[in-house]
Structure 1
Amino acid sequence: MDVIPVIDVAHGQVVRAMKGQRSGYRPIETPLAGSSEPADVARGLARLFPFHKIYLADLDGIEGRGRNTHIVPALSQVLGRVEIWIDAGTGSRGAARAILAAPVATLVVGTESIETVRNWEDISAEAPARTVLSLDFKNGEFIGPEAMLADSSLWPSRVVVMTLDRVGANEGPDIRRLESIVARAKGRRIYAAGGVRDRGDLDDIKKIGVAGALVASALHSGKISAGDLLEVAGR
């Protein structure tokens, strides 16, 4: 099972995400790093465990303030060849091409950032094998073109189920929704995002066929330990 640490960046600093209420996000304070600088936090995560992937949510890009283009080179310098999944609010093929120019980059396209199915098809055609779809939910509602949720044939080989209102909320993952998506996935790898609190949650979503999880708060709090990560990665 993949456990992918998440770095949420706003105004150039790593922030603690909470229930998708982005206006209230504040710079992170974590025992893993001495500051909220993205490279410092990435270095702390690398000391915790040799992750193969890391997830960068560029909230400035997602909210239309402009991408933090300096962060990927800074993270690469710290992390080496670790694969960086990047969600920067990509809404066009040109923007996708700019992100994919970094050899370590995998593009994440959130349904909250696309307007139509045609828009998604155009973006994903740039590099299908390096593109992940994020199905975005908040307060029980799907965010994005309804066809993106209804028609699983549109999904690529890797799909994130992003439950924004559970991020950092200590409420546990949305098992019912994850089960529904896994049942329709037809062999695609499904990743849970939002609500994973501890090793028990990882075990629970593994049982229903989830391939991996995006995690932040549980790593910084120590509720998921290096030992847990080692055992989970070995299964």
Structure 2
Amino acid sequence: MDIIPVLDIARGKVVRAVEGKRWAYRPIETPLSRTAEIVDVAQGLGKLFSFRKVYIADLDGIEGRGRNTRIVPSISQALPDAEMWIDAGTGSRGAARAILATPVATLVVGSESLESVRDWEEIAAEAPQRTVLSLDFRGGEFMGPDALLKDASLWPQRVIAMTLDRVGANSGPDFDTLKAIGSKAKGRRVYAAGGIRDKADLDALRSAGVAGALVASVLHAQKISASDLKEITSRKG
């Protein structure tokens, strides 16, 4: 099972995400780092565990303030062996090409950033094996083109079920949404994002057939230890 730490970044700092309310995000305070600087927090994660992947939410890009091109070099310095999953609000093929120009980058496309299925198809055509689709939900509603949720043949091999209002809310994973997506995924790897509170939640996700989980608050609250991470990631599936 993959455990993927999340770095939510806004205006050059790592911020603490709470229920997808991006206007309320503030620079993170964590025992893993002395500051909210990107390199410091990334180094703190690296000292905790040798993560194989890291998820980077470039909130400036997602909210239309301009993509932060310095993020990947900064994090690569701290986590040189990690694959970078980058969501920068990509909604066009040109924007996708810019991210994919970095060899260590895997492009994450959030459904909330897409205006049409055609936009998604053009983006995915750039590098299908290096593209992940995030199916975004808020308040029980899908954020994105309805046809993209309904037609699983459009999905790549890796799909995230992102429940934004559960992010940082300590409310538990959205198992109903995960079950619905998993039933349509047909062999694709499904990743859970939002609400994970502890190792028990990760165990339950694995039992439900989830391939991996995106986590942040649970790491900074130290509710999952390095030994927990080693045990969970060593399991197949």
- Shorter-chain TM-score tier: over 0.9
Kindly indicate whether the alpha-carbon contact (under 8 Å) linking 1:62 and 1:87 is maintained by their aligned counterparts in 2.
Answer: yes
Q: Which amino acid aligns with 1:89?
A: G
Other structure's SS at 1:64 match: coil
- Runs of 4+ aligned structure 1 residues displaced above 3 Å come to none
In 1, the alpha carbon distance for the partners of 2:40 and 2:71 equals 11
Name the % identity: 68
The C-alpha deviation readout for 1:15-51, integer Å capped at 9, x for no partner, is 0000000000000000000110111101000000000
Alignment of 1:74-153 (within 5 A): 74-153=74-153
In 1, the alpha carbon distance for the partners of 2:102 and 2:74 equals 12
Aligned length: 235
In 2, the alpha carbon distance for the partners of 1:173 and 1:196 equals 5
- Equivalent position of 2:43 in the other structure: 43
Other structure's SS at 2:201 match: helix
In 1, the alpha carbon distance for the partners of 2:177 and 2:75 equals 32
In 2, the alpha carbon distance for the partners of 1:191 and 1:120 equals 19
With structure 1 as the length reference, what TM-score do the two structures score? 0.99
TM-superposed deviation, 1:81 = 2.9
In 2, the alpha carbon distance for the partners of 1:189 and 1:42 equals 25
In 2, the alpha carbon distance for the partners of 1:180 and 1:95 equals 30
Kindly indicate whether the alpha-carbon contact (under 8 Å) linking 1:62 and 1:89 is maintained by their aligned counterparts in 2.
Answer: yes
With structure 2 as the length reference, what TM-score do the two structures score? 0.98
Query: What RMSD in Å do the two structures reach over aligned CA positions?
Result: 0.5
- 1:54 paired with 2:35, answer no
Gaps of 5+ in 1: none
In 2, the alpha carbon distance for the partners of 1:137 and 1:48 equals 30
In 2, the alpha carbon distance for the partners of 1:124 and 1:38 equals 28
- Equivalent position of 1:222 in the other structure: 222
- Equivalent position of 1:232 in the other structure: 232
In 2, the alpha carbon distance for the partners of 1:33 and 1:100 equals 29
